[in-house]
Amino acid sequence: MLDERKLAVLRAVVEDFVNTNEPVGSRALADRHPLGVSPATIRNDMVALEEDGYIAQPHTSAGRVPTDKGYRLFVDRLSSVKPLSAAERRAIESFLGGAVDLDEIVARTVRLLAQLTRQVAIVQYPSLTRSSVQHVELVPLGGQRIMMVVITNTGRVEQRVIDGLGSASESVVDDLRAMLNRAIAGKHLGDVPDAVEDLPAQVAPEDRPVAVAVLSVLLESLVERREEKIVLAGTANLAAVDFAASLRDVLEALEENMVLIRLLGEAKDPSMLTVRIGAENFHEGLRSTSIVSADYGVGNQSLAKIGVVGPTRMDYPGTMGAVRAVARYVGQILAGQ
């Protein structure tokens, strides 16, 4: 049904359309690609490709444009991830190298990815749920308040103020802190609830309310609150593109963090590049965009995702190469920290 040459034609259509942003005709194809056949033959192939839904005509007597299905086939079978140039790799290394803390690593990563791809980049903070507790700190503030700071092994810091405690003497706080750290330091966040379950029983009855309050805030902030932070960059790159949907819809979708998190999260194959094309994205406003995402992490452990959002008409090999490379470097940097 689809012989070698028809696939070559589809590949050529995608490549040319990505370059020029104009429907590509049979003559132009024959000129620019060494297909070895005449425009008339290409036309016949195009009819077949169109019947199968891989390309479409904006109107009679215009050239052809790839459909979502066409891009999908291109990504799956007709292209390979394009490795970065040596210069680009060096740029990544030097740019990410100077970061001093997690915030800065993330901030630099997202800007770097936006710059490399000339599209919108998304970076998710290392997930809380997959990391483990490095240390818990309790700091008595003035009044009857305590600040709790939890540090994870990925360098993330969560803080929360606990209010409305009656008595909270220094020594009680000290005891609690020591007890907490004994119980959960090094533990996976998922295991924290079990680990602290019987702690209240171990404190003196009069201090139990304080302990309970602290624990409930701890659990709430670490486990129940699934909110995962993400950062964007490169939205200005959208202005250059003209979308089928309005630019406004796209920008709106990008501001809804929950949508983005869900999109990134729906990667098919963990630890691999995932590409979602056009209507494959469930969100209305992103119908005319594609998303290339990847996991990053330390060793085999995936911590979170990074990704790029651009028009369906994007340079898939290049974008995929950039995303994969940046994901790897971030993993290395995090491992080194």
Partner DNA sequence: TCCTGGCACTCCAAGGTCTTTAGTGCTAAT
Partner DNA sequence: ATTAGCACTAAAGACCTTGGAGTGCCAGGA
Angstrom distances, CA of residue 146 to CA of 30, 96, 169, 202: 73, 36, 10, 20
The site partner of 161 among its own copies, DNA, none (C-beta below 5 to 8 Å per kind) is: its own copies
d(CA 16, CA 25): 10
The site partner of 50 among its own copies, DNA, none (C-beta below 5 to 8 Å per kind) is: DNA
Please say whether the beta carbons of 81 and 90 come within 8 A.
no
The site partner of 149 among DNA, its own copies, none (C-beta below 5 to 8 Å per kind) is: its own copies
The site partner of 246 among DNA, its own copies, none (C-beta below 5 to 8 Å per kind) is: its own copies
Least Cβ distance, residue 125 to DNA (angstroms): 44
**Distance between the two ends of the chain, CA-based, in angstroms?**
53
Which residues between 14 and 73 bind DNA (CB under 7 A)? Answer: 22-28, 36-41, 43-44, 46-47, 50, 57-64
d(CA 49, CA 85): 34
Least Cβ distance, residue 255 to its own copies (angstroms): 6
The site partner of 171 among its own copies, DNA, none (C-beta below 5 to 8 Å per kind) is: none
Does residue 85 interact with DNA by CB under 7 A? no
Region label for 39, one of left (φ > 0), alpha (ψ between -120 and 50) or beta (otherwise): alpha
Which residues between 212 and 251 bind DNA (CB under 7 A)? Answer: none
The site partner of 135 among its own copies, DNA, none (C-beta below 5 to 8 Å per kind) is: its own copies
Taking the least distance from each CB to its own copies, the nearer of 81 and 251 is 251
Residue 331: both structure tokens together: 């993993």
Least Cβ distance, residue 55 to DNA (angstroms): 9
Please say whether the beta carbons of 192 and 184 come within 8 A.
yes
Taking the least distance from each CB to its own copies, the nearer of 155 and 193 is 155
The site partner of 62 among DNA, its own copies, none (C-beta below 5 to 8 Å per kind) is: DNA
d(CA 315, CA 43): 25
Q: Count of alpha carbons within 13 Å of 312, Cβ hemisphere only?
A: 23
Taking the least distance from each CB to DNA, the nearer of 29 and 106 is 29
Please say whether the beta carbons of 320 and 273 come within 8 A.
yes
Angstrom distances, CA of residue 207 to CA of 24, 100, 136, 147, 195: 76, 40, 19, 17, 19
Q: Which helix (H) or strand (E) holds 113?
A: helix 102-117
Residue of 222, 44, 64, 59 whose CA lies nearest to 134: 222
Residue 293's CB is within 10 A of a number of other CB atoms, namely 25
Taking the least distance from each CB to its own copies, the nearer of 42 and 254 is 254
Taking the least distance from each CB to its own copies, the nearer of 40 and 244 is 244
The site partner of 258 among its own copies, DNA, none (C-beta below 5 to 8 Å per kind) is: none
Binding residues for its own copies (CB under 8 A)? 100-101, 134-135, 137, 139, 141, 147, 149, 151, 155, 157, 159-161, 233-236, 238-240, 246-248, 251-252, 254-255, 337
Burial group, residue 257, by CB count within 10 angstroms (0-12, 13-18, 19+)? middle
Taking the least distance from each CB to its own copies, the nearer of 47 and 178 is 178
Taking the least distance from each CB to DNA, the nearer of 24 and 96 is 24
Q: Which residues bind DNA (CB under 7 A)?
A: 5, 22-28, 36-41, 43-44, 46-47, 50, 57-64
